[in-house]
Structure 1
């Protein structure tokens, strides 16, 4: 043969899971997730020789997600993803790596007549909590936590000036602009030796998510940002300082533009510069700024 299968993985995507927790005090908690499982290992023969003997069917993977959700906690999602990924390694000798990604959809408890309702919830935004766990045979478990879909905007307190200019540049410098973005942030934990070590970090996972979310929004709001680049670096640096077990932080921030509209053509109406009040939100094209900030002791300084 003139070709070689250089990599392969397969699994079940978009497994929707909802779990209700019935508490002794009569209240209920709910968790809704979308789960993706992908397996690697001694599976090449399925591609190259039509031999499925080592293939764990994707339907089996789906049923395993449901059973694991029934038999184990689904919160924090880092623990659930680790339990699930380790299960595939422990159960199937031919599987050498199991990837589990979890999206947690947002349900917030309602307040009715000024009190938290025991079993009613509402979706208060598109933001999701995301987790990825990879269990590798004899190599521990790698966990990545994050936030996606967190829309933020401030109407002032952002600048962008001093950038390179040449014959292709039309963008004017500005010392006051609208700043809006859809936050995609992730933090990578130091490799866990196994499930036992993951379980010891259970409280830390939720606290890290709360801290990262708070740091992101507070820094966004309070910083008179000279650039999206600088703001995201400050966010990353603070998360690393707050969560010692995290090795690196990643941000991907699209710059959602709002352009002034010149209305002077209509009876001299002023709507630019200090008089701007009405803007045209832009869907595309948009700026996209990304970075990875690594703890200095574990990698090269950026």
Structure 2
């Protein structure tokens, strides 16, 4: 005999753009995001008995995203994700949990003739702001915020030495190397009792994103890094200190390698060690370093 052990369904890749128009100043602000909603609850019969009556259609979920976006602020995304999740578990009695993921796409205001333009924007990178919220009936709202796709590089100020060596080791130690990575960083908030609890700390969400981004960039740039492992731990530790409402910080950093090219075969041309100026960027394989740092006694589960 078999049994249904996991069931969750919803609408993915709901593209949403909202403009806020300040009638007094004429300044407009824009937000573009991609939303995913997944519901779970008393829906087993739709899988096992072909009974569709429990299904809140995925198109209904899509339309709900648009309607609630019209009726509510979509920024910060933590609030909008909580509004969506709370709606689904409070509107449908047989839905006991709603998983909402929001990816905010980057639009930066243009500077024209030395001044911020009131209604023109540009996409200045592939970096996204991400939020995952889970609203559970009777259990409150869990939120994870994060930064994805932030590509950074430093041409010096990174080393890697003193690592374990054995008969399989070919990598030489280095005290000066290029360091590049695509930042994936996330921070887990304390459990919120409900939507009003989320609303009470709305200013904290943007402030946390700014703090995490600044700490990531400044630590990366300033530190003479002994390893990616140690650098990412320091980033986590600083974010925990800067954002008291967080309980865990996590990073996943791929090491994007740039290899020296030995050009000595061509008329003794020096291009290694201190003379290295031309490198070959590598796509793969690459190192991948991850860690989660929590406050003592806290769990990082969402």
User: Normalized against structure 1, the TM-score is what?
Assistant: 0.98
1:179-190 alignment runs, 5 A limit: 179-190=179-190
Instruction: Please tell me whether residue 198 in structure 1 is matched to residue 229 in structure 2.
Output: no
Q: Deviations over 1:148-187 (max 9, x none)?
A: 0000000000011111111111000000000000000000
Q: Deviations over 1:56-96 (max 9, x none)?
A: 00000000000010000000000000000000001000001
- Number of the residue aligned with 2:176: 176
How many residues are matched? 299
Using the alignment, how far apart are the partners of 1:299 and 1:185 within structure 2?
17
- Number of the residue aligned with 2:58: 58
- Number of the residue aligned with 1:86: 86
CA displacement at 1:210 relative to structure 2: 0.1
- Number of the residue aligned with 1:18: 17
SS at match of 2:82: helix
- Number of the residue aligned with 2:298: 298
Q: Deviations over 1:6-51 (max 9, x none)?
A: 0110000000000000012101000000000000000011111111
Q: Deviations over 1:253-285 (max 9, x none)?
A: 000000000000100000000000000000000
CA displacement at 1:299 relative to structure 2: 5.3
Using the alignment, how far apart are the partners of 2:36 and 2:299 within structure 1?
30
* 8 A contact 2:149–2:183 mirrored in 1: yes
* 8 A contact 2:248–2:299 mirrored in 1: no
Instruction: Please tell me whether residue 153 in structure 1 is matched to residue 153 in structure 2.
Output: yes
- Number of the residue aligned with 2:106: 106
SS at match of 1:254: strand
Instruction: Please tell me whether residue 278 in structure 1 is matched to residue 290 in structure 2.
Output: no
Gaps of 5+ in 2: none
SS at match of 1:171: coil
- Number of the residue aligned with 1:136: 136
SS at match of 2:238: helix
Gaps of 5+ in 1: none
Q: Deviations over 1:216-250 (max 9, x none)?
A: 00000111111000000000000001111100001
Q: CA RMSD in A?
A: 0.9
SS at match of 2:165: coil
SS at match of 1:169: coil
SS at match of 1:56: coil
- Number of the residue aligned with 1:268: 268
Using the alignment, how far apart are the partners of 2:182 and 2:133 within structure 1?
24
- Number of the residue aligned with 2:212: 212
* 8 A contact 2:254–2:289 mirrored in 1: yes
CA displacement at 1:297 relative to structure 2: 4.2
Using the alignment, how far apart are the partners of 2:110 and 2:244 within structure 1?
34
CA displacement at 1:194 relative to structure 2: 0.4
Q: 4+ residue runs of structure 1 moved beyond 6 angstroms?
A: none
- Number of the residue aligned with 1:230: 230
User: Normalized against structure 2, the TM-score is what?
Assistant: 0.98
SS at match of 2:159: coil
SS at match of 1:109: strand
Using the alignment, how far apart are the partners of 1:140 and 1:254 within structure 2?
34
CA displacement at 1:298 relative to structure 2: 2.4
Using the alignment, how far apart are the partners of 1:232 and 1:296 within structure 2?
18
Using the alignment, how far apart are the partners of 1:12 and 1:117 within structure 2?
35
- Number of the residue aligned with 1:122: 122
Using the alignment, how far apart are the partners of 2:298 and 2:62 within structure 1?
37
